[in-house]
Chain A
Amino acid sequence: DQQVKQNSPSLSVQEGRISILNCDYTNSMFDYFLWYKKYPAEGPTFLISISSIKDKNEDGRFTVFLNKSAKHLSLHIVPSQPGDSAVYFCAASAIQGAQKLVFGQGTRLTINP
């Protein structure tokens, strides 16, 4: 029972273009969503988050969009840079859940020069 799904295992984007990573969830109790970025041999690092009371959150080149009715969120990176090449994990939690995160499978983003 995969409550958080990232259906694209990999994505390749040209440098300077927009990268769009997608995530779907099934549990309507989730009210906080995060994106983590992971380089090889390192732990995930927090990138950006969004509460369910919002539908958009922006931080520099990164924007997360939340569509609660569709139970879908997306991460936009613009413009994409070579250093953005990494695995991106979507995660969700519920206020009642002691901040327990449920992660998606991850999407490997490759930025081509």
Chain B
Amino acid sequence: NAGVTQTPKFRVLKTGQSMTLLCAQDMNHEYMYWYRQDPGMGLRLIHYSVGEGTTAKGEVPDGYNVSRLKKQNFLLGLESAAPSQTSVYFCASSYSFTGSSNQPQHFGDGTRLSIL
């Protein structure tokens, strides 16, 4: 009963390095999301996907890229890491919206990323 799994859990990068954060969900959810959480800011949406092969920008997309090649996976990439990207990153997934019924998002436990 894994739900949403994020890897890695911790990572330290040097400025300019690249890396990919992996999110996997086993609930057959259509929608997936990447957020970042910073002190005093709540969670802010970076990118999201409404289905396999689709991606869209959220509130703070600059400096990040995403891919959704498989329904169960949503990858978040940092091409050239900057200290401002030091944050805790959360992935979430949910069923697609139908009619007036909304479904809560299910979150992973986060990836703590430090950029030096």
Return chain A residues, CB-CB under 8 Å to B59.
102
Q: How large is the interface on B (under 10, 10 to 19, 20 to 34, 35 or more residues)?
A: 20 to 34
Q: Which of A43, A102, A106 contacts B109 (CB 8 A)?
A: A43
Asked whether B105 lies within 8 Å of A4 as measured between CB atoms, the reply is no
Asked whether B106 lies within 8 Å of A98 as measured between CB atoms, the reply is no
Asked whether B97 lies within 8 Å of A34 as measured between CB atoms, the reply is no
* Tally of chain A residues near chain B (CB < 8 A): 28
Return chain B residues, CB-CB under 8 Å to A99.
31, 94, 97, 102-103, 105
Return chain B residues, CB-CB under 8 Å to A71.
none
Q: Which of B35, B44, B58, B105 contacts A46 (CB 8 A)?
A: B105
A101 to B90: give the CA distance in the assembly, Å.
13
The 8 A-B residue pairs with the shortest CB-CB distance in the complex, in nearest-first order: A43-B107, A46-B104, A103-B42, A103-B43, A105-B42, A32-B102, A43-B109, A44-B107
